[in-house]
Amino acid sequence: MLESCFGQKNLIAIGYKYNSRKVCLFICTRGAGLTCSGDPYMAKFLTDLGNYNSREVTRPMLASHYFGNSNGIDVNNQIRQALFALEEHWKTHDGWFRCVTTVLGIVATNTFIACQYSFASESEYSSLKVKDFSSVLAYQLSQYPFPDTASFGRSIVRPGQDAPQWYEKIPGRFNPNSIQADIVEALSNVTIDEQVCPILGNTRLKPGWNSIAIVEAVNRPSYAPALPCDITNSHKQTKIKVHSVDGKRTRPPQCKMCNFHAMKQKKPPFLCVDCGDFFCHDFERGSNGLAPPRQCYWAHMCYIFKNSGIPTAGWCSTFDVWNRTRVDTCKEYDGM
C-alpha cells in the first residue's frame, strides 16, 4: 500500500496478487474503505490429477467490498433483459414505444430491488420472485383507485403542499363551489349554476341534495386496521340534507355496506364524495344512543384498499377479524 506525498496527500494505491499471472491495482481517496484483510477471493484451479481445487487469496477489505458490489448494474440489466424481458414480449416497430418499454423495465426492476431491501424479512414482499412480483405489480397498477386526474401526485393535498390551481382541476374534476368559478366562466363562456348541479369531489349531487357539513377525512375507529393517507384523503365524508324539489323529495339510498352484509337497512345522510355512495357514520350510535356504531364508512375504505392488492396477508387477516366482529355485533343488536 502506497500513500501520495504530493498535493493534498489524500490518494492511496493498493495492489495484491490476484493469481500467478495478474496483480490487481486500486487507486482511491483516503477514507474510501478499510485496508485491513477482508473477505478472501476463492481461487479455483485444476490439479495435476485433473480435479478442481480452491484456495483463499487474501485481499484488502476495500477490494472485497468493491468486487462484491461492482456487478450491481449487470445484475440490474440481467433482471430487466432476461427476467422481465419486456422488449421480447412487446414487439414493435415504433422507436418511441421501444424507449418507453426500456424505461418501464428499468423502473420495474428498481422497484423489485427496492422491495427486497425495504420490506422487513418476515414480509411476503421481501422474498417475491421476479415472476410473482411482476404479477403483483401489474395487478396493483390496474386495480389501485387512482383519482382520475392527469397527475396523481397533485390530486391529494398532503402536509406541506399547496392546493392544486384552478387550471389543474378542469376539465372533469373542477369544483364549481370554488372561488375560481368566475375565471372558468370567463375563459369557457359556460355559466356554472351552483344551485342546479353542485359537485363535491367526484360526485355530482342530485337536485334537492345540499351539503350541510364540511368535507372532511374520516377518523379511524378503535381496533380498526390502519389505512394509507392516499385512501383516507381521497374518500372524504360530508352530510347531505334532502329537501323537496317541485313537490318531489329524493331520499338518499341505503347504506352500501349494510346492504352488502345483509344487515338491517339504514338510509344515512353521510356521503363519500369520491364514490358517490352513502354509508353509516363510524361513531354515531343511533337516536337512543345505545346502538353500537356501525363503522360502515371505514369498512368501505378498507374494502377498496384490500381489493387493490397492496395490503399484506397480516393486514387482510386483521381486517377480516375486525369486520366480522363489527357485523356480528350490529346484527345481534338488530335482532337478526
pLDDT digits over 67-109, tens only? 888 888 888 888 888 888 888 888 888 889 989 999 999 999 9
* Rounded-to-integer distance, Cα 251 and Cα 254, Å: 9
Per-residue pLDDT of 22-66, as tens digits, reads: 888 889 888 888 888 888 888 888 888 888 888 888 888 888 888
**pLDDT greater at residue 269 or residue 172:** 269
The whole-number average pLDDT for the span 175-189 is 46
| Nine cell digits for residue 174 | 373542477
pLDDT of 261 reads: 85
Kindly list the domain boundaries of the chain, sorted by start residue: 2-69, 72-143, 205-333
* Rounded-to-integer distance, Cα 104 and Cα 98, Å: 10
Mean pLDDT, the chain, as a whole number?
Answer: 78
CB atoms within 10 A of CB 248: 8
Q: How confident is the model at residue 183 (pLDDT cuts 50, 70, 90)?
A: very low
Residue 130 near residue 83, CB atoms below 8 Å: yes
Among 165, 171, 209, 210, smallest CA distance to 192 is for 171
| Nine cell digits for residue 289 | 344512543
pLDDT of residue 170 exceeding 60: no
Among 56, 67, 54, smallest CA distance to 26 is for 67
pLDDT of residue 257 exceeding 60: yes
Q: How confident is the model at residue 194 (pLDDT cuts 50, 70, 90)?
A: very low
pLDDT of 109 reads: 92
**Amino acid present at 268:** P
**Amino acid present at 26:** F
| Nine cell digits for residue 15 | 495492489
The whole-number average pLDDT for the span 147-165 is 55
* Rounded-to-integer distance, Cα 111 and Cα 118, Å: 10
pLDDT of 163 reads: 65
